[in-house]
């Protein structure tokens, strides 16, 4: 006699559609993020009368969205149980590359932008190459080395000088509007949708999750682990270069020390967005909300002249909250 449970399984047809239960819809991390986001808006509105109006909310995005492009590929990297801390340096090196191409080599600005994107992608590709070629090295160490390396090269090229004098139209990236919507916001939405679809709707995204859970199984199942990692790291470099374009445009020039510690902000936003550093888990919609939470928090506290140190405390506490809350359930179990 087999057990009763087993008996009832025998010859049972398997369900192929996921039942849509309240638990699946409402008990999700993203709802908590939405609550925090609303909380941030409410708090800011109470603190400053200048906060809650469409123009200020709109224009704030121009300030905080630049680094957000890197959050998406960083989410991919973290889902694969890896990390890239060289992205801030990649922003600096690619923007310096762009400025040098324009000011020293006299290339047209369009070509200089292409140079920027190529430099960024190459930086990412190099990270990916090192990490896949030497799997025994941890990604933290490899990208720590390239973080110092890329920043160092940027300093050698510009020697702590600013380099700017870009043509006037280049300012459009950082300051332009299309039908009253900041250009950066439009690009952000486009890139967010593209990465979201890539992660959640394609075979490529599925492989990223598979690698994060178990790279051996993935390899045995015919997933090209190295190729997938190479592509993702290259995307991270490319998005760092996109950030470089918007940042240089907004500031009107670039320096070797720009985008300092961006990697930490980026990783924090991804983690707050529910991307697990243990690999295999996370949704991009969460990171989008997290970007806006951090962005408006920064902007709102800036409005009432709260020093940036206080802001660090708030963001640190938020992040701690984000990583601890999912663990509370486990704690009670044991």
Partner 1 sequence: MGEIVMELKNITKTFPGVTALNNVSFVLEKGQIHALMGENGAGKSTFIKVITGVHKADAGEILLDGRPITFSNPNEAKAKGIAAIYQHATNYPDLNVTENIFMGHEKISPKTKRILWKEMHDEAKGILRSLGSAINPKQEMGTLSVAQQQIVEIAKAISTNARIIIMDEPTAALTTRESEELYRIAEKLRDQGTAIIFISHRFEDMYRLASKVTVLRDANYIGCWAVDDITNKNLIIAMVGREINQIFPKKEHTIGEEVFRVENLRKIGYFADISFSLHKGEILGLTGLVGAGRTELCETLAGIEKYDNGFIYLHGQKEKFKNPKDAMQKGVGYLPEDRQKSGLILQWGIGRNITLPTLENYSTKGWLNEKRESLKAKEIAEKLHVKALSVFDLVSSLSGGNQQKISVAKLLTTDLDVIILDEPTKGVDIGAKAAIYKIINELANEGYSVILVSSEMPEVIGLSDRVAVMREGRLVKIIDAHEVSQESILAAAMGEVQPGGEDVCQPI
| Rounded-to-integer distance, Cα 154 and Cα 150, Å | 6
Q: Cβ of 140: how many Cβ atoms within 10 Å?
A: 12
What minimum distance in Å lies between the beta carbon of 193 and partner 1?
14
**Rounded to the nearest whole angstrom, what is the least distance from the CB of residue 61 to partner 1 in the complex?**
30
The reply on whether position 9 binds partner 1 by CB under 8 A is yes
Q: What is the distance between the alpha carbons of residues 241 and 187, in angstroms, rounded to a whole number?
A: 14
Rule CB under 8 A: say whether 22 interacts with partner 1: no
Phi and psi dihedrals of 178, rounded to 5?
Answer: -120, 115
Contact between 133 and partner 1 by CB under 8 A: the answer reads no
Residue 207 to residues 25, 223, 279: CA-CA distances in angstroms? 25, 7, 12
Sketch the per residue contact string, 211 through 250, with partner 1: x for CB under 8 A, - otherwise: --xx-xxxxxxxxx--------------------------
Is 1 one of the binding residues for partner 1 (CB under 8 A)?
Answer: yes
Of the pair 195, 262, the CB lying nearest partner 1 is at: 195
Q: Binding to partner 1 by residue 25, rule CB under 8 A?
A: no
Measured from the CB atom, the residue of 1 and 331 that comes closer to partner 1 is 1
Our finding on whether 136 is near partner 1 (CB under 8 A) is: no
**What is the pattern of x (binds partner 1, CB under 8 A) and - over residues 143-182?**
----------------------------------------
Contact 277, 271 (CB under 8 A): yes
CB of 234 to partner 1, least distance (A): 17
Residue 199 or residue 315: which is nearer to partner 1 going by CB? 199
Give the torsion through C-alpha atoms of 184, 187, 191, 192, to 10 deg.
Answer: 60
183 touches 169 (CB < 8 A)? no
* 28 interacts with partner 1 by CB under 8 A: no
Is residue 163 helix, strand or coil? strand
Residue 136 backbone phi and psi in degrees, to 5: -80, -15
Nearest residue to 250 (alpha-carbon basis) of 156, 183, 161: 183
The residue range among 8-16, 91-99, 172-180, 250-258 that interacts with partner 1, by the rule CB under 8 A, is 8-16
Fill in the per-residue mask, 88 to 107: x = in contact with partner 1 (CB under 8 A), - = not in contact: --------------------
Spell out the residues 6+ positions from residue 330 whose beta carbon is closer than 8 angstroms to its own.
Answer: none
Q: Using the rule CB under 8 A, is 138 a contact of partner 1?
A: no
135 near partner 1 (CB under 8 A): no
Interaction between residue 3 and partner 1 (CB under 8 A): yes
Of the candidates 90, 151, 97, 158, the residue with the CA atom closest to the CA atom of residue 125: 90
**At a CB cut-off of 8 Å and minimum separation 6, what does 245 contact?**
95, 98, 113, 116, 117, 173
Nearest Cα to Cα of residue 65 among 299, 333, 292:
292
Strand partners, 181: 178
Helix (H) or strand (E) holding 178: strand 177-178
Minimum gap (Å) between residue 210 Cβ and partner 1: 6
Q: Which stretch binds partner 1 (CB under 8 A): 7-15, 68-76, 235-243, 298-306?
A: 7-15
**Is 12 among the residues that bind partner 1 (CB under 8 A)?**
yes
Stretch that binds partner 1, among 198-206, 241-249, 253-261, 293-301 (CB under 8 A): 198-206
Query: If binding is defined by CB under 8 A, does position 280 make contact with partner 1?
Result: yes
State which of residues 17, 23, 327, 332 lies at the interface with partner 1 (CB under 8 A).
17
Nearest to 68 by CA among 309, 323, 267, 316: 267
Judged by CB under 8 A, the number of residues near partner 1 is 33
Name the residues that contact partner 1, by CB under 8 A.
1-3, 6, 9-18, 201-204, 206-207, 210, 213-214, 216-224, 280
């Amino acid at each position: 006699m087999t057990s009763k449970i087993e008996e009832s399984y025998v010859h049972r047809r398997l369900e192929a559609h996921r039942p849509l239960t309240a638990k699946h819809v409402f008990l999700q991390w993203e709802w908590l993020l939405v609550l925090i986001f609303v909380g941030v808006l409410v708090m800011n509105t109470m603190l400053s009368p200048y906060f809650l109006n469409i123009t200020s909310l709109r224009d704030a995005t121009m300030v905080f969205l630049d680094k957000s492009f890197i959050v998406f590929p960083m989410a991919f990297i973290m889902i694969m149980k890896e990390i890239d801390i060289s992205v801030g340096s990649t922003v600096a090196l690619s923007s310096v590359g762009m400025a040098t191409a324009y000011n020293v080599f006299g290339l047209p600005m369009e070509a200089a932008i292409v140079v920027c994107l190529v430099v960024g992608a190459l930086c990412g590709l190099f990270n990916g190459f090192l990490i896949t070629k030497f799997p025994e090295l941890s990604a933290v160490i490899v990208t720590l080395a390239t973080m110092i390396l890329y920043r160092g090269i940027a300093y050698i090229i510009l020697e702590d000088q600013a380099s700017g004098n870009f043509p006037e139209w280049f300012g459009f990236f950082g300051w332009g509007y299309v039908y009253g919507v900041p250009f950066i916001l439009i690009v952000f939405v486009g890139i967010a949708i593209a990465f979201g679809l890539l992660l959640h709707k394609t075979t490529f995204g599925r492989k990223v999750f598979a690698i994060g859970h178990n790279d051996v199984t993935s390899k045995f199942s015919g997933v090209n682990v190295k190729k997938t990692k190479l592509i993702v790291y290259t995307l991270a470099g490319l998005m760092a270069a996109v950030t470089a374009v918007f940042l240089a445009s907004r500031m009107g020039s670039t320096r070797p020390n720009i985008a300092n510690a961006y990697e930490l902000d980026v990783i924090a936003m991804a983690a707050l967005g529910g991307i697990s550093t243990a690999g295999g888990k996370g949704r991009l919609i969460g990171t989008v909300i997290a970007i806006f939470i951090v962005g408006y928090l920064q902007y709102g506290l800036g409005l009432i002249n709260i020093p940036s140190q206080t802001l660090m405390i708030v963001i640190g506490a938020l992040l701690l909250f984000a990583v601890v809350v999912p663990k509370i359930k486990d704690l009670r179990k044991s």
